[in-house]
Amino acid sequence: MNVTLQNLVKDYGNFRALNGVNLQIGGGMFGLLGPNGAGKTTLMRILTTLIPPTSGSVQIGPYDLTREPGEIRQILGYMPQDFGFYRGLNAHELLDYIGAMKNIPRKERVKQIETVLNEVNLTGVAKRRVGGYSGGMRQRLGIAQALLGDPKLVIVDEPTAGLDPEERIRFRNLLTRLSGDRTVLLSTHIVGDIEASCAQVAVLNQGQLIFFGTPEALTARAEGRVWELEIAQREWETIENRYRIIASRSTPRGLVVRLISPENPEGRGSQIAPGLEDGYMAVMSAVSATVEKPEAQYA
Protein backbone atom coordinates (compact mmCIF):
# COMPACT_ATOMS: atom_id res chain seq x y z
CA MET A 1 0.00 0.00 0.00
CA ASN A 2 1.68 3.17 -1.18
CA VAL A 3 1.04 6.42 0.58
CA THR A 4 1.94 9.57 -1.29
CA LEU A 5 1.93 13.02 0.24
CA GLN A 6 2.28 16.01 -2.03
CA ASN A 7 2.95 19.47 -0.73
CA LEU A 8 0.85 18.78 2.35
CA VAL A 9 0.00 21.83 4.43
CA LYS A 10 -1.99 22.07 7.64
CA ASP A 11 -2.72 25.34 9.36
CA TYR A 12 -4.37 25.83 12.74
CA GLY A 13 -5.34 29.46 12.50
CA ASN A 14 -2.08 31.34 12.07
CA PHE A 15 0.01 28.41 13.13
CA ARG A 16 1.35 26.19 10.36
CA ALA A 17 1.64 22.69 11.74
CA LEU A 18 2.69 21.07 8.45
CA ASN A 19 4.54 22.99 5.79
CA GLY A 20 4.66 21.49 2.32
CA VAL A 21 5.41 17.92 3.23
CA ASN A 22 6.22 15.61 0.30
CA LEU A 23 6.62 11.96 1.12
CA GLN A 24 6.37 8.57 -0.51
CA ILE A 25 5.74 5.67 1.83
CA GLY A 26 5.97 2.12 0.58
CA GLY A 27 5.24 -1.24 2.22
CA GLY A 28 6.60 -2.53 5.50
CA MET A 29 7.40 -0.58 8.60
CA PHE A 30 7.88 3.11 8.12
CA GLY A 31 9.12 5.29 10.92
CA LEU A 32 8.23 8.88 11.45
CA LEU A 33 10.58 10.63 13.81
CA GLY A 34 10.51 14.07 15.21
CA PRO A 35 10.55 16.00 18.44
CA ASN A 36 7.38 16.88 20.30
CA GLY A 37 5.47 19.48 18.34
CA ALA A 38 7.13 18.53 15.05
CA GLY A 39 3.77 17.85 13.39
CA LYS A 40 3.84 14.07 13.59
CA THR A 41 0.44 13.72 15.26
CA THR A 42 -1.07 16.24 12.86
CA LEU A 43 0.24 14.19 9.96
CA MET A 44 -1.11 11.02 11.53
CA ARG A 45 -4.50 12.60 12.06
CA ILE A 46 -4.61 13.71 8.44
CA LEU A 47 -3.64 10.27 7.21
CA THR A 48 -6.31 8.70 9.38
CA THR A 49 -8.93 11.12 7.98
CA LEU A 50 -9.57 12.66 11.38
CA ILE A 51 -8.74 16.14 10.14
CA PRO A 52 -8.59 17.50 6.61
CA PRO A 53 -5.40 19.04 5.22
CA THR A 54 -5.39 22.74 4.48
CA SER A 55 -3.85 22.11 1.09
CA GLY A 56 -1.89 19.52 -0.77
CA SER A 57 -2.92 15.99 -1.51
CA VAL A 58 -2.68 12.56 0.00
CA GLN A 59 -3.09 9.41 -2.02
CA ILE A 60 -3.44 6.16 -0.10
CA GLY A 61 -3.38 3.25 -2.49
CA PRO A 62 -5.97 4.04 -5.13
CA TYR A 63 -7.84 6.50 -2.92
CA ASP A 64 -7.64 10.23 -2.61
CA LEU A 65 -7.84 11.19 1.03
CA THR A 66 -10.01 14.27 0.56
CA ARG A 67 -12.47 12.76 -1.85
CA GLU A 68 -12.63 9.20 -0.55
CA PRO A 69 -12.14 9.22 3.22
CA GLY A 70 -14.71 6.47 3.69
CA GLU A 71 -12.82 4.07 1.46
CA ILE A 72 -9.57 4.87 3.22
CA ARG A 73 -11.10 4.13 6.63
CA GLN A 74 -12.08 0.73 5.29
CA ILE A 75 -8.42 -0.20 4.71
CA LEU A 76 -7.06 1.58 7.75
CA GLY A 77 -6.04 0.47 11.20
CA TYR A 78 -5.24 3.25 13.62
CA MET A 79 -3.88 3.42 17.10
CA PRO A 80 -3.73 6.99 18.31
CA GLN A 81 -1.26 8.36 20.80
CA ASP A 82 -3.93 9.10 23.38
CA PHE A 83 -6.87 6.76 23.43
CA GLY A 84 -9.09 4.80 25.77
CA PHE A 85 -11.87 2.28 25.77
CA TYR A 86 -15.24 1.91 27.42
CA ARG A 87 -13.98 0.68 30.74
CA GLY A 88 -17.02 -1.42 31.56
CA LEU A 89 -16.59 -3.68 28.56
CA ASN A 90 -14.25 -6.61 28.22
CA ALA A 91 -11.81 -6.97 25.34
CA HIS A 92 -14.04 -9.39 23.52
CA GLU A 93 -17.11 -7.16 23.68
CA LEU A 94 -15.08 -4.19 22.64
CA LEU A 95 -13.48 -5.89 19.67
CA ASP A 96 -16.84 -7.27 18.62
CA TYR A 97 -18.23 -3.75 18.53
CA ILE A 98 -15.21 -2.43 16.66
CA GLY A 99 -15.42 -5.34 14.24
CA ALA A 100 -19.01 -4.39 13.50
CA MET A 101 -17.90 -0.78 12.95
CA LYS A 102 -15.31 -2.09 10.49
CA ASN A 103 -17.97 -4.01 8.59
CA ILE A 104 -16.59 -7.43 9.40
CA PRO A 105 -19.34 -10.04 9.04
CA ARG A 106 -20.31 -11.69 12.31
CA LYS A 107 -18.80 -15.13 11.63
CA GLU A 108 -15.61 -13.63 10.29
CA ARG A 109 -15.53 -11.27 13.23
CA VAL A 110 -15.46 -14.07 15.76
CA LYS A 111 -12.46 -15.61 14.03
CA GLN A 112 -10.60 -12.36 13.65
CA ILE A 113 -11.13 -11.41 17.26
CA GLU A 114 -9.62 -14.66 18.37
CA THR A 115 -6.71 -14.18 16.01
CA VAL A 116 -5.85 -10.63 17.02
CA LEU A 117 -6.29 -11.34 20.70
CA ASN A 118 -3.90 -14.22 20.28
CA GLU A 119 -1.44 -12.08 18.33
CA VAL A 120 -1.34 -9.46 21.06
CA ASN A 121 -1.35 -12.09 23.77
CA LEU A 122 -4.58 -11.00 25.41
CA THR A 123 -6.61 -14.17 24.96
CA GLY A 124 -6.31 -15.05 28.61
CA VAL A 125 -7.77 -11.75 29.76
CA ALA A 126 -10.30 -11.25 26.96
CA LYS A 127 -13.24 -11.57 29.34
CA ARG A 128 -11.84 -9.15 31.89
CA ARG A 129 -13.06 -5.56 31.96
CA VAL A 130 -10.59 -3.36 30.12
CA GLY A 131 -10.86 -0.83 32.93
CA GLY A 132 -8.61 -3.15 34.89
CA TYR A 133 -5.93 -3.50 32.21
CA SER A 134 -2.36 -2.30 32.69
CA GLY A 135 -0.87 0.32 30.35
CA GLY A 136 0.85 -2.32 28.27
CA MET A 137 -2.28 -4.42 27.98
CA ARG A 138 -4.24 -1.38 26.87
CA GLN A 139 -1.61 -0.61 24.23
CA ARG A 140 -1.80 -4.18 23.01
CA LEU A 141 -5.56 -4.00 22.88
CA GLY A 142 -5.09 -0.78 20.93
CA ILE A 143 -3.04 -2.57 18.33
CA ALA A 144 -5.52 -5.47 18.33
CA GLN A 145 -8.37 -3.16 17.41
CA ALA A 146 -6.20 -1.57 14.73
CA LEU A 147 -5.53 -4.97 13.21
CA LEU A 148 -9.18 -5.98 13.06
CA GLY A 149 -10.40 -6.11 9.49
CA ASP A 150 -6.93 -6.91 8.20
CA PRO A 151 -6.11 -3.31 7.25
CA LYS A 152 -3.63 -2.60 4.49
CA LEU A 153 -2.37 0.47 6.26
CA VAL A 154 -1.73 0.55 9.98
CA ILE A 155 -0.88 3.84 11.64
CA VAL A 156 0.43 3.83 15.18
CA ASP A 157 1.15 7.07 16.92
CA GLU A 158 3.66 6.97 19.78
CA PRO A 159 2.71 3.40 20.69
CA THR A 160 5.51 2.83 23.18
CA ALA A 161 5.09 6.03 25.13
CA GLY A 162 4.59 5.24 28.78
CA LEU A 163 5.59 1.59 28.50
CA ASP A 164 8.34 0.07 30.57
CA PRO A 165 11.44 -1.09 28.65
CA GLU A 166 10.36 -4.71 28.56
CA GLU A 167 6.89 -3.82 27.30
CA ARG A 168 8.44 -1.48 24.76
CA ILE A 169 10.62 -4.20 23.29
CA ARG A 170 7.74 -6.63 23.19
CA PHE A 171 5.56 -4.06 21.52
CA ARG A 172 8.20 -3.18 18.91
CA ASN A 173 8.63 -6.85 18.10
CA LEU A 174 4.91 -7.25 17.83
CA LEU A 175 4.67 -4.41 15.34
CA THR A 176 7.51 -5.78 13.27
CA ARG A 177 5.96 -9.22 13.26
CA LEU A 178 2.58 -7.86 12.24
CA SER A 179 3.82 -5.60 9.49
CA GLY A 180 4.10 -8.44 6.97
CA ASP A 181 2.69 -7.21 3.69
CA ARG A 182 1.07 -4.23 5.31
CA THR A 183 2.28 -0.72 5.45
CA VAL A 184 2.81 0.18 9.08
CA LEU A 185 3.43 3.82 9.80
CA LEU A 186 5.04 4.22 13.18
CA SER A 187 5.23 7.68 14.57
CA THR A 188 7.50 8.17 17.54
CA HIS A 189 10.01 10.43 19.14
CA ILE A 190 11.89 7.42 20.49
CA VAL A 191 14.65 6.66 18.02
CA GLY A 192 15.21 3.19 19.38
CA ASP A 193 11.72 2.14 18.24
CA ILE A 194 12.58 3.04 14.65
CA GLU A 195 16.05 1.57 14.75
CA ALA A 196 14.75 -1.80 15.72
CA SER A 197 11.98 -2.14 13.21
CA CYS A 198 11.73 0.29 10.29
CA ALA A 199 12.97 -0.07 6.74
CA GLN A 200 12.41 3.58 6.01
CA VAL A 201 12.30 6.63 8.11
CA ALA A 202 11.29 10.25 7.82
CA VAL A 203 12.14 13.05 10.18
CA LEU A 204 9.78 15.94 10.77
CA ASN A 205 10.74 19.12 12.49
CA GLN A 206 8.59 22.21 12.90
CA GLY A 207 6.17 20.96 10.27
CA GLN A 208 8.81 20.29 7.64
CA LEU A 209 10.26 17.07 6.34
CA ILE A 210 13.98 17.27 7.03
CA PHE A 211 14.96 13.74 6.23
CA PHE A 212 13.61 10.83 4.30
CA GLY A 213 15.48 7.61 3.67
CA THR A 214 16.67 4.41 5.26
CA PRO A 215 17.81 4.21 8.87
CA GLU A 216 21.28 3.56 7.54
CA ALA A 217 21.18 6.77 5.53
CA LEU A 218 20.01 8.64 8.58
CA THR A 219 22.85 7.12 10.56
CA ALA A 220 25.28 8.09 7.82
CA ARG A 221 24.35 11.73 8.34
CA ALA A 222 26.39 11.56 11.49
CA GLU A 223 29.35 9.76 9.92
CA GLY A 224 32.62 11.37 11.04
CA ARG A 225 30.77 13.76 13.37
CA VAL A 226 30.27 11.68 16.47
CA TRP A 227 32.92 12.05 19.11
CA GLU A 228 33.59 10.89 22.59
CA LEU A 229 35.34 13.33 24.86
CA GLU A 230 36.55 13.07 28.41
CA ILE A 231 36.02 16.30 30.32
CA ALA A 232 36.27 17.61 33.84
CA GLN A 233 33.07 18.46 35.71
CA ARG A 234 33.86 22.20 35.50
CA GLU A 235 34.02 22.05 31.68
CA TRP A 236 30.46 20.83 31.29
CA GLU A 237 28.89 24.18 30.79
CA THR A 238 31.39 25.24 28.16
CA ILE A 239 31.10 22.00 26.24
CA GLU A 240 27.33 22.01 26.41
CA ASN A 241 27.24 25.49 24.94
CA ARG A 242 29.57 24.64 22.10
CA TYR A 243 28.39 21.19 21.02
CA ARG A 244 25.26 19.09 20.80
CA ILE A 245 25.70 16.49 23.48
CA ILE A 246 23.92 13.20 22.79
CA ALA A 247 24.86 11.32 25.93
CA SER A 248 27.10 11.52 28.95
CA ARG A 249 28.31 9.29 31.74
CA SER A 250 30.39 10.00 34.81
CA THR A 251 33.78 8.46 35.46
CA PRO A 252 36.13 8.69 38.45
CA ARG A 253 38.03 11.44 36.61
CA GLY A 254 35.06 13.46 35.47
CA LEU A 255 32.62 12.92 32.59
CA VAL A 256 32.66 11.16 29.24
CA VAL A 257 30.37 12.89 26.76
CA ARG A 258 29.17 11.73 23.38
CA LEU A 259 28.61 14.68 21.08
CA ILE A 260 28.20 15.75 17.52
CA SER A 261 30.73 18.01 15.91
CA PRO A 262 32.06 18.41 12.38
CA GLU A 263 35.56 18.72 13.80
CA ASN A 264 37.47 17.16 16.65
CA PRO A 265 36.06 18.86 19.72
CA GLU A 266 38.62 20.74 21.71
CA GLY A 267 41.24 18.78 19.73
CA ARG A 268 41.09 15.90 22.17
CA GLY A 269 38.02 13.87 21.12
CA SER A 270 37.95 10.31 19.89
CA GLN A 271 35.83 9.64 16.82
CA ILE A 272 33.34 6.82 17.20
CA ALA A 273 30.89 4.96 14.93
CA PRO A 274 27.50 6.70 14.79
CA GLY A 275 24.13 5.14 15.60
CA LEU A 276 20.62 6.05 14.37
CA GLU A 277 20.11 8.40 17.26
CA ASP A 278 23.32 10.21 16.27
CA GLY A 279 22.05 10.50 12.72
CA TYR A 280 18.73 11.87 13.96
CA MET A 281 20.53 14.37 16.18
CA ALA A 282 22.84 15.32 13.36
CA VAL A 283 19.86 16.04 11.12
CA MET A 284 18.18 18.01 13.86
CA SER A 285 21.43 19.90 14.54
CA ALA A 286 21.76 20.84 10.91
CA VAL A 287 18.23 22.25 10.93
CA SER A 288 18.91 24.09 14.14
CA ALA A 289 22.04 25.56 12.57
CA THR A 290 20.03 27.06 9.73
CA VAL A 291 16.92 28.01 11.64
CA GLU A 292 18.13 29.01 15.08
CA LYS A 293 20.67 31.65 16.05
CA PRO A 294 23.88 30.85 14.14
CA GLU A 295 26.15 32.35 16.78
CA ALA A 296 24.86 29.86 19.32
CA GLN A 297 25.97 26.89 17.26
CA TYR A 298 29.16 24.98 17.49
CA ALA A 299 31.68 25.40 14.72
Partner 1 sequence: MRNTNTASRFMAAFLLEVRLIVWHWSYALLLLIWIGLVVATTQPSMASARVILEMSTGRNAIGLLSLIALFIGSLSATRAARNRFDQLEEAYPSSVEILIGRWLAVVVVLLPFLLPPLVITLGSGSFNAWWALIPTYLFEGTITVAFTAAFAYALMGWLGLHRWIYPLLVLLWLAVTMGTTLLAVNTPSLSSLTLLNFARLGALPQTQLWGRVTLGSLPQLFNGFYITFSAGLLALLAWKYIGRRFNRRSVLASMAMRVSIVLLVMFGAQYVAVNALAESPMSGSVPDSYVVMEPLREALPLQVADYDIQIDFGSAESPRYTTTITLANVSAAPLAILDLTLNSSLRVTEATLPYERDGHSLRLKPPQPLQPREQLTVTLHYEGAIWQMLVYRGAVQAANFTRTDGIRLSYSAAWYPVAGTRPVRISPITEPTVTSSFRVRVEGVNGLNFATNLQRVDSQTWQAKSAYFTHLIGVRDLAEVKVGQFTLIGLPDDVDRARPAVEQYYIPALEVFSRYFDQLAPEFQLFIGDTTDGLPWFGPTLRADNIITMIEYPLSIQSLERTDNLDNQLDLLMTAAYFDNDFMMQLITGDLARFLWAHHKANGDSTRIAAILNPGYYGVATAINELYAREGEAGIHRLIAEIQANKANLKGMPSNQLVAWIKEVSGAR
Binding residues for partner 1, rule: CB under 8 A, are 45, 48-50, 52, 66-67, 69-71, 73-74, 76, 78-80, 82-89, 93, 96-98, 100-103, 142, 145
**Distances 142 to 160, 184, 267 between C-alpha atoms, Å:** 11, 14, 50
Q: Taking the complex as a whole, how short is the minimal distance between the CB of residue 155 and partner 1, in angstroms?
A: 8
Tell me whether residue 87 or residue 253 sits nearer to partner 1 (CB atom): 87
Q: Taking the complex as a whole, how short is the minimal distance between the CB of residue 104 and partner 1, in angstroms?
A: 9
Tell me whether residue 66 or residue 176 sits nearer to partner 1 (CB atom): 66
**How would you class 68 by CB atoms within 10 Å of its CB: exposed for 0-12, middle for 13-18, buried for 19 or more?**
middle
Tell me whether residue 67 or residue 268 sits nearer to partner 1 (CB atom): 67
Tell me whether residue 74 or residue 248 sits nearer to partner 1 (CB atom): 74
Radius of gyration of the chain (CA): 22
Q: Taking the complex as a whole, how short is the minimal distance between the CB of residue 137 and partner 1, in angstroms?
A: 16
Q: Which residues contact 242 (CB under 8 A, 6 or more apart)?
A: 265, 298, 299
Q: Report d(CA 133, CA 145) in Å as an integer.
A: 15
Tell me whether residue 88 or residue 135 sits nearer to partner 1 (CB atom): 88
Q: Taking the complex as a whole, how short is the minimal distance between the CB of residue 186 and partner 1, in angstroms?
A: 16
Q: Taking the complex as a whole, how short is the minimal distance between the CB of residue 62 and partner 1, in angstroms?
A: 16
